[in-house]
Amino acid sequence: MKNFKSILIVCMAVATLMSCNKDDDGGEEEFTLTRANLAGVYELTFYKEVDTETTDVNGLEVTTVRTTTGDTFQVDYNFDEDGTLIVDGEYREVFTVVVNGETTMEGQEIIVIDNENFTFSVSSNPQRLTISGVTYNVTVFNENEIQFELDESSSTGGDTFTTLEEFRLLRK
């Protein structure tokens, strides 16, 4: 019985030591969104955009939703620590237009981006990425990837416009 108590105490001590987290004692810090940490070449792995327009046509509300999804990506995003971004490559967009619940158009298009230059800035709290004046919320940022999205709405003359965009990039 005495041996059992000794083994139990040793097991509890080992379990307590193993449950300690590096963060508890000032170990590893969170990977902060800064231009220096973001700098590098990333490949685009996911893109989706949903544009919604609601218009009043002679008293009837007409809602048009255009959904665009990218695939077959061969696009590189090169973030430089000085705040410049060069995007190069191509991918395919597949789109669908739905008006009041009925599909009115479907199609696809190859998008070619030829070393386009942009400027960018970052904010770490809250995590935001601004590319040439458009500010995205960063949902994931670590040593290997960045994911960011845009959720923007506006109204003009009774019409409402909403844009939702999502990008996912993996560090090369």
pLDDT top residue among 59 and 82: 82
pLDDT-derived band at 13 (thresholds 50, 70, 90) equals: very low
| Burial of residue 35, with CB atoms counted within 10 A of its CB: 0-12 exposed, 13-18 middle, 19 or more buried | middle
Q: Residue 161 — very low, low, confident or very high, per pLDDT cuts 50/70/90?
A: very high
Residue 127 to residue 72: CA distance in whole angstroms = 28
| More confident call, 3 vs 101 | 101
Query: What's the pLDDT score for residue 171?
Result: 97
Is the predicted pLDDT of residue 24 greater than 70, yes or no? no
Query: 45-54, 102-111, 114-123, 150-159 — which is least confidently predicted?
Result: 150-159
For the CA atoms of 151, 155, 159, 164, the dihedral, rounded to the nearest 10 degrees, stands at -10
| pLDDT of the residue at 146 | 97
Judged against a pLDDT cut of 70, whether residue 3 lies above it is answered with no
pLDDT at 30: 75
Is 25's pLDDT higher than 90?
no
Residue 2 is predicted with a pLDDT of: 52
pLDDT of residue 16: 47
Residues 6+ positions from 50 with CB-CB distance below 8 Å: 65, 66, 67, 68, 162, 163, 164, 165
Euclidean distance between CA atoms 30 and 37, whole angstroms: 11
Label the pairing between strands 102-124 and 40-57. unpaired
pLDDT digits (tens, 9 = 90+) for 124-137: 999 999 999 999 99
Per residue in 66-113, pLDDT tens? 999 999 999 999 999 999 999 999 999 999 999 999 999 999 999 999
Query: Rounded to two decimals, what is the model's pTM?
Result: 0.80
89, 88, 85: which is closest to 117 by C-alpha?
Answer: 85
**Are 91 and 75 spatial neighbours (Cβ–Cβ below 8 Å)?**
yes
